[in-house]
Chains A and B, each alone.
Chain A
Amino acid sequence: MLLRVENIHKSYGAVEILKGVSFEMAPGQSKVIMGPSGTGKSTLLRCVNHLSPPDQGRIFVEGEELTAKNLNTMRQKVAFVFQDFNLFTHLRTVENVAIGPRKLRGFSKSAALDLAYKELDRVGLSDRADAYPAELSGGQQQRASIARALAMEPKLILFDEPTSALDPELTGEVVSVMNKLASEGMTMLVVSHEIGFARKAADEVIFMEGGKIIEQGPPSQLFEAPQQDRTRAFLNVIEHGGDA
């Protein structure tokens, strides 16, 4: 297994957000985590690379346990794409993509830039390489941040609601980049309500509520024939455009 998540618990103060979550991912798999807001999906994602260290439970990447000691090397294998992009404000787009290889992977400056241009090309942003983040649209910023993740040549990319800070007309460009990555065999764990992406690209959908996994399975099964009432109720809400 590429990723093994074992019995994760996490509380903020007195509130228990995650109540024992476990799952596994094989190389090349894509999984989408869905569920009502406030249900711990983003917290779970942050626990996977210890942006919020779990209170209890263990994370294994390629069989090696994630600890405080190997944190920084492990994070280079597990890239993270943020809801609000978090591109580095003071760096041009291409420098944003190059900084990881340059500073963390020991690339020379020119090799890092070459790789950065290649990854920008992959997300269709070559023509904006010299722009600063503030000069990009939201969709472009998110694609640039995906390129930044790709430049680490990670084993796995975590996506934390990558389209929810975007205007509806800009989500398409990001989703199509994600579709492309999935079809190229990138391993992806995605918190998102993009049903289109889940149907097309996900191998499995995980439905979470109240800090627990309620149901998981291939998208065809989960969307067409959900076993649990709560899954059905949730899908009903998002498919009819309600606020989940």
Chain B
Amino acid sequence: MIFETLISQMPYLAHGLAVAIGLLVCLLSLGLVLGLILAILEVYGHWSLRLACVAFERVFRGIPAIVLLLLFYYGVTDYIDMGSFTAAVLALGLRSAAYQSQIFRGAFLSVPIGQMMAARAMGMNKLQAIRDIVLPQALRMSIGPWTNEFSSELKATSLAYVIGVVELTRQAKYIISNTQGNILIVFGVVALMYFVVNRAGNWALYRLENRLALPGFEHRGDA
């Protein structure tokens, strides 16, 4: 009986999972681009830019994801019209940018200063040296910590539930209301789906990290 319900409801769960993954991809992409810009400005920028970036980071890391979601969905929509999905991408994406900029900043700072110096001594301008020499090294070093950010944002997508994005957790809630019960099993299956996506993502990123690892800088075990 339970399994019949589950099988009949599976398309809804699958759709919810697709929405969750779509949200994850959008918010991580926004966070990646903005986080990289923030990190570069913080490491190489003028002090005033640096100050602004640090302030952005502090604010977005200090506010709970739920409050950001509510702020963007209920608050900002008073001024700018947007749907709940867009609000979720902005709220979680800007927050992720704050966390990702920390990861990238650490990676930039761990590239030895001599690399920048040798690039500049050759006649590269600062932008060329960052793009062709420092960035490729920093990105490689970022993959490990970025994997944690991936996991944490995958789980954060479930919070979009509170502003009505019909992602996986919201679908589960609907199924429970519609079928009058099966709560443990539905949430169990939903939890399993998050778990599997998380594992798969971690595995893929770990593979990527090893594939891009340079001789002498291989992964130091402890996945």
A contacts B: CB pair < 8 Å: yes
B215 in the interface, Cβ–Cβ < 8 Å? yes
Q: Which of A74, A82, A152 touches B114 (beta carbons < 8 Å)?
A: A82
Q: Are A89 and B122 neighbours in the complex by a CB distance under 8 Å? A: no
Given contacts A99-B132, A132-B214, A134-B215, is CB(A90)–CB(B137) below 8 Å? yes
Asked if A89 and B123 sit within 8 Å, CB to CB, the answer is no
- Alpha-carbon distance A59/B205, docked complex (angstroms): 50
Closest Cβ of chain B to A64, distance in Å, is: 14
- Closest residue of chain B to A148, judged by CB? B122
Q: Which of A76, A86, A90 contacts B118 (CB 8 A)?
A: A86
Q: Size range of the interface on A?
A: 20 to 34
B216 touches A90 (CB 8 A): no
Cβ contact within 8 Å between A84 and B136: no
Given known A-B contacts A86-B114, A89-B115, A90-B214, A100 and B122 have beta carbons under 8 A apart: yes
Known: A90-B140, A103-B132. A82 touches B124 (CB 8 A): no
Q: Give the residue of B112, B115, B120 whose beta carbon is less than 8 angstroms from that of A75.
A: B120
Instruction: Report the minimal beta-carbon distance from B125 to chain A, rounded to whole angstroms.
Output: 5
Q: How large is the interface on B (under 10, 10 to 19, 20 to 34, 35 or more residues)?
A: 20 to 34
Contacts of A88 in B (CB 8 A): 115, 118-119, 133
- Chain B CB within 8 A of A104 CB: yes
| Residue A236 CB within 8 A of the other chain | no
Kindly supply a per-residue 1/0 record for chain A positions 124-150, scoring 1 wherever the CB is within 8 Å of any chain B CB and 0 otherwise.
000000011111000000000100100
When distances are taken between beta carbons in the complex, the residues of chain B under 8 Å from A89 are 112, 115, 137, 214, 216-217
Interface string of A95-120 (1 = CB under 8 A from B): 00001100110000000000000000
Which residues of chain B have C-beta atoms less than 8 A from A49's C-beta? 121
Q: Given A132-B214, A134-B216 in contact, is the A82-B118 Cβ separation under 8 Å?
A: yes
Distance in Å from the Cβ of A50 to the closest Cβ of chain B?
9
Contacts of A86 on B, CB cut-off 8 Å?
Answer: 112, 114-115, 117-118
C-alpha gap A80/B116 in the complex (Å): 13
Check B121 against A80 for contact (C-beta < 8 Å).
yes
B128 at the interface (CB under 8 A from A): yes
Q: How distant is A215 from chain B, measured CB to nearest CB, in Å?
A: 29
Given the interface pairs A84-B114, A103-B128, the reply to whether A75 lies near B136 with Cβ below 8 Å is no
Tell me if A228 is interfacial: C-beta within 8 Å of chain B.
Answer: no
- Cβ of A233 within 8 Å of any chain B Cβ, yes or no, is no
> In the docked arrangement, what's the CA distance between A49 and B122, Å?
10
Chain B residue nearest in CB terms to A84: B114
The 0/1 profile, CB within 8 Å of A marked 1, for residues 132-157 of chain B is 11001100100000000000000000
CB distance from A44 to the nearest CB of B (A): 15
Q: Which residue from B122, B133, B215 sits with its C-beta under 8 Å from A76? A: B122
Give the interface centre of B121, B215, B217 by most chain A CB atoms within 10 Å. B121
A87 and B122 alpha carbons, distance in the complex (Å): 12
16 contacts between A and B (CB under 8 A): A49-B121, A51-B117, A71-B123, A72-B125, A75-B121, A76-B123, A80-B118, A82-B117, A84-B114, A86-B115, A86-B117, A88-B118, A90-B133, A90-B214, A99-B132, A103-B124
